[in-house]
Copies of this chain bind each other. A is one copy, B any other.
Amino acid sequence: MNSFLLTFLLSALTATALFAQPENLMPVPSEIKPGQDRFLLTSDFSCSISGTDQSRVLPAVSRLLKRLSKMTTLTFDPDTVLTPVQTPSLQISFQRAGKLTPGESESYQLNITRNSISLSAETDLGILHGLETLYQLTERSSAGFFFRSVSISDSPRFPWRGLMLDVCRHFFTAETVKRQIDAMSLVKLNVLHLHLSEDQGFRIESKTYPKLHELGSNGQYFTQDEMRDLIRYADLRGIRVMPEFDMPGHTTAWMAGYPELGSVPGPVKPEKRYGIFGSTMNPAKPETYTFLDTFLTEMSGLFPDEYFHIGGDENNGEQWDANPDIQKFKTENNLATNHDLQAYFNGKILDILTRNGKKMMGWDEIYQPSLPRNIVIHSWRGRDYMENSARDGYRSVLSNGYYIDLFYPAEKHYLNDPVPAASTLTDTEKARILGGEATMWAELVDEETLDMRIWPRTAAIAERLWSPGSVTDPDEMYRRLPEITRRLEETGLNPVTNRDKMLRRLAGTDQIQALKTLLNAVEPIEGYKRHSTKPGYTTFSPFSRGVDCALSDAPDVIKARLLIRNYKKTGSAAALAELTGLADAWISTGPKIKKLAESSPAVRELVPLAGSVSRLGVLFKSRLKAFASGKTTGETKAKETEIASLSKPVAELEPVIARLFDELKNHPAKK
């Protein structure tokens, strides 16, 4: 009943949310002028393309037609649709093929009238974005599927809009990565950053040093053929693929095949546990650089992107301190600290990459004034690293605040602006901030949960990086999130389906409604808290518990918050009734989960949680009643203590209903 309610309520709130509309676009375009007419989508839909190199646009039109076919159940055979006619329904024109490089033109103009659609752009990349906008604009009515007439002129705020995917802690198949590329394309992201080496795995075939993937991957890696195919797949969607090889730390998996690279003697195996293990390359041996020269030259040939990420994070220096040769090397080369030594190492890598025509990028640890200004600093520890880099003449990309592996709600990421209105940087410095990347570290995620951990939250980040800085209303973002989730699902992602599947397995039955009610009211504990649980996660942990089925934006609590705000604005009796319904569902979850746990052992750990949610439901219902009758004060001290106590995490899950009590404090004048 809850997902039913969610859709129903959100549509009740907005009167328009049920079907896509210009105001449902994500990301929001820079300029949009709605019209009054409708373009009706019929089976005689036709399309013309004018532009020299159509190698990206033609398949993009085919993909759009396929999705429209599936949605409308009309047959759109590309051969038929593209057969020349006098006045094509959709006229596409562009000047030239875009280069996949930051700053390339990605803008487009889309104009929909009653009788025709025109989409124009300088580059084919703009056309790709315009086609995705068009897809998001599809609406339904009793008369059929249609596009509302509209005039859109759109271009991105930042040139670097990325998703970093860690394929090392858990591996993801090429097909799964392609799905992420499809989703990125839907929300106009343009950089897929693949984190390819780690303590837990080395994930790309090397022909020059085959023991890297043979002994470092447990058999799970991309072949070079697969990677070329992935890169081509991304290119066709206007998305760059940037490789990362994390060095000199986080390198246990390299040493499995080549222990001589290490600062301490081997042998080692890829790690199964998580954390910082200290495994570090030996920067004092010339052989290390010979190895890296050959290897990085090989990889520079495989990955056509001009940027090359060398990681560089979390080298704790322990292995360097313990190795007398390395200490001696430091002294001989006047390298006072390990940071200096790492800068020396980075300089050597930079030479190799430069020789291969690459621009070097690294996590903010590589920021060191001795390095030239054409490297890119990737800020993860704090936005001050980014801002300092910008002042110091370096370009940078922000990931601090976009760590989607840490279970924070979409709102937190959404409000994290790389260049906020209050920024004290000069315009020149601001221009050095290229954009941002959502980072999906993969300790606590696997094939099954990946889609729902990345999406839809990354759509909110995509909007932050594409749309004007003035687009900042989280409620408005949350209103559109279910709509983009449906689009994601239509595009092939599984944020909804996999969750249902997991709930059925957890419950051992198709009767998952009680479990869904519970898990829609709670959120996984945030930050690194799940990492510090006992006995601790490994690469073999099953990510199939209640916490793995919970979302970082508890859907029913988000829904309740929107309902309360609506009620406060409009006094809507329907909103109040729905809120009461939600409270009743929460109240009922305790006994239901207890019953389910009798036959579903994996549900047992959720029984105390369900008890808390039940009791919070009772308190919420009573607070709601008081509020509706005009009582605007808060809770008693005793109640507040009880609420705080009920909100304590259980089984790595936090009941977040308490957040709603604050919303019920200041009753506006009753209408």
A225 interfacial by beta-carbon distance below 8 Å: yes
Q: How far is the CA of A544 from the CA of B73 in the complex (A)?
A: 6
Interface string of A141-185 (1 = CB under 8 A from B): 111110000000000000000000000000001010000000000
**Residue in B144, B545, B598 whose CB lies within 8 Å of A73:** B545
Query: What is the count of identical protomers in the complex?
Result: 2
A66 to B505, CA, bound (A): 13
Q: Is the CB of A19 within 8 A of B508?
A: yes
A67–chain B nearest beta-carbon distance, Å: 9
Are A510's CB and B4's CB within 8 A? yes
Kindly state the separation between the CA atoms of A599 and B69 in the bound complex, as whole angstroms. 17
User: In whole angstroms, what is the CA distance A6 to B8 when docked?
Assistant: 25
Pick from B4, B73, B482, B509: contact of A542, CB under 8 Å: B73
Q: Which of A481-504 contact B (CB under 8 A)?
A: 482, 486, 489-490, 494, 496-498, 500-501, 504
Digitize A522-552: 1 where CB-to-B-CB distance is under 8 Å, 0 elsewhere.
0000000000000000101110110000000
Q: How far is the CB of A387 from chain B (nearest CB, A)?
A: 42
Q: Nearest Cβ in chain B — how far from A433, in angstroms?
A: 38
Interface segment among A74-82, A100-108, A403-411, A662-670: the answer is A74-82
Interface residues on A, range: 35 or more
Bound: A3/B538 CA distance, A? 35
B497→A540 contact, CB < 8 A: no
Cβ–Cβ contact A140 & B510, under 8 A: no
Would you call A601 and B75 a contact (CB within 8 A)? no
Are A496 and B501 in touch, CB under 8 angstroms?
yes
A78 to B540, CA, bound (A): 9
Chain A, residues 5-23, CB within 8 Å of chain B (1/0): the string is 0111000000000110000
Q: Write 26 A-B pairs (CB below 8 A) sorted by A numbering.
A: A4-B513, A6-B510, A7-B509, A7-B511, A18-B509, A18-B599, A69-B540, A69-B542, A70-B505, A72-B542, A73-B545, A73-B602, A77-B272, A78-B540, A140-B601, A142-B597, A143-B601, A144-B601, A145-B601, A173-B175, A223-B225, A482-B510, A486-B505, A497-B497, A497-B500, A497-B501
With A69-B544, A141-B599, A225-B225 known, 10 other A-B pairs at CB within 8 A are A69-B541, A70-B505, A71-B544, A77-B272, A140-B599, A142-B601, A175-B175, A223-B225, A482-B510, A490-B505
Among all A-B residue pairs, the 7 with the closest Cβ atoms = A497-B497, A69-B542, A77-B540, A73-B602, A70-B544, A7-B510, A175-B175
